[in-house]
A and B are shown apart, each in its own frame.
Chain A
């Protein structure tokens, strides 16, 4: 095998290596200087509290958003003028590959799972998720996988076969470097965590709802999270197996995906998209749930057509398992295959359309407040509709032969995923920030963030529809003047800078609000409707002093109107809580080390370190810690602090 341990010979990479090294040393020195190691270890690294795990997911997601965003800016810079040589073809390949993987798996997923972690137990009136320690393991395996994937560009080289890693290109024959091993191993490790999260949330939502909360009385975000979890459990094992087969092909000379010994490269595409298409809905469904909550709250109305909303989500989830072939119509399927998958794909537009109209009708005759969270939801509807309509265009197999692998497709999925996921995450962050941290984000800086980002987004991706229709295929690292694309792509590059300015405004907003925002926001700053607002901000570790009883959808709203949102002193009992555990983080680190050696195909070392994983499992089996109790007196004290009267 040929590889250099450190990627060498490029000044940009050398600078990054030095930069990363200095940042690490600086960070370690700073934490040591502030004597924060014990605090971090006790309060964060070993925590099993769903709220803290959620916050760590969100922090990791923001960092990954920055990394993926920088990748995007570099691509836009490279294609801004014809014939530029800022990046060579190899670098461009690596950058669009990592951009895709980082944005989907290490940005969108943790952001959404993070918000789910913080909110689901609160929305259903529970004190934690069903398996708190497993939840921590999910986080650490994701986090370690993200780190492993990110070191690839300084150690060993990044994967360069696209985020889809199609065979035969991604096979050993055409990609002998270890870059694609990073793809197989890092995704595998993070997939384990995601699968565990899916199981955890299904059990939590089915088994731990507050008394009286029937399935059809759950908040919409809880519903979408439940359906997403079911989809995770359905789809992620397919990725696990596909990646395993890829690993066997690349490291052990198997031939699942190589034509050489009777394998079939199309099998990889087939399995990848059997997971990949549901994955799109795994990230977009919780986002739909967030918009539903935000739009209902800021329209001062209950959600229009709650039951049709639920039916639509389930229908979308069901259909999402039946459309995967639309990603490779051009492989030359029979007419029957392409027709069936065209029809199922177009059918998805129906439940999605129902949802769009439900949101519009929720707003109709409502008293709309243009808070930041609501602005993101309002911008989502038209932008996402453009993405949806172009999706129906792509769904037609015959027409797709023209659009396939052009910039038109790239523009389409950015118009779906950015409004569908990124806008939702921003809406969710502005909306739930007070609940998570006890202060609101600044609305004025938030407006800058909103307008810069939304305008920048449209400037960046709208021109890509037109160059796509004009024949520009995706993943081209440069083009000639004579194509006539230069004005469109130049325009698009400027747009990406505006979008980056929007992100900078968000970062400034986080900083400003952390330093100066009022800490006196109360438990319910938006006059909201669902149970998470019935408890303190930031939420106490035990969530609810008394588990609420539910008789209606929007229970908290009803309680507020009828004045029944008070708890009684006598109802407060000792509260049982799970203890912190070091097993998840140690196991995560062990996964990381094993993964690292596997990437470099050092099998003996990775076998030695995988003993660490097994040891953690054994240690966990002998862990008889049943948790601890918070005495009622202490609960009462904490509750008095924010309720005042009790």
Chain B
């Protein structure tokens, strides 16, 4: 499903900073994978490359049949819209849109039937437990609820892979549990491939495998029983 070969990322500057120093691994379809490591280990950098919101310095990434590192900027944008879902640590909702509009927007941009997708957005919000918050704006709901809106948004175009960058970092423990259980439900019931960056050791119990990153390299890949 996802194949990463010798992925490197160096941030330019007076003193170039290597964040990834040659990472290679595979993620299978329907897997729930966590990328873990200490702060500054390169795990978020890795997810940015996989989610196509940053460009690696070297190496290749294949998602499905596409070598996405070879795509143009416009093609990457289209790929993100149609094939990927991305969830940020800080919710990253559009403040001027209601929960339902936030979820609906990527479907509108995709060109799908707007009315059908409007209903689908409502169903997804219902799926993440926010059926009663459709018309609420982001500043009218809690952080945990905002993150669940972001998850629903990431799902609207039925992505091949769902990427989540420390999705529970800003949440209280109850909200974090809700979000993680939601990911597991999506993974188990809908066979949704999920790749999540987390620094919480307890999160291991929700995933199939853990890719441990240390100093820009894979330290180990752990299968969770």
Tell whether A pairs with B.
no
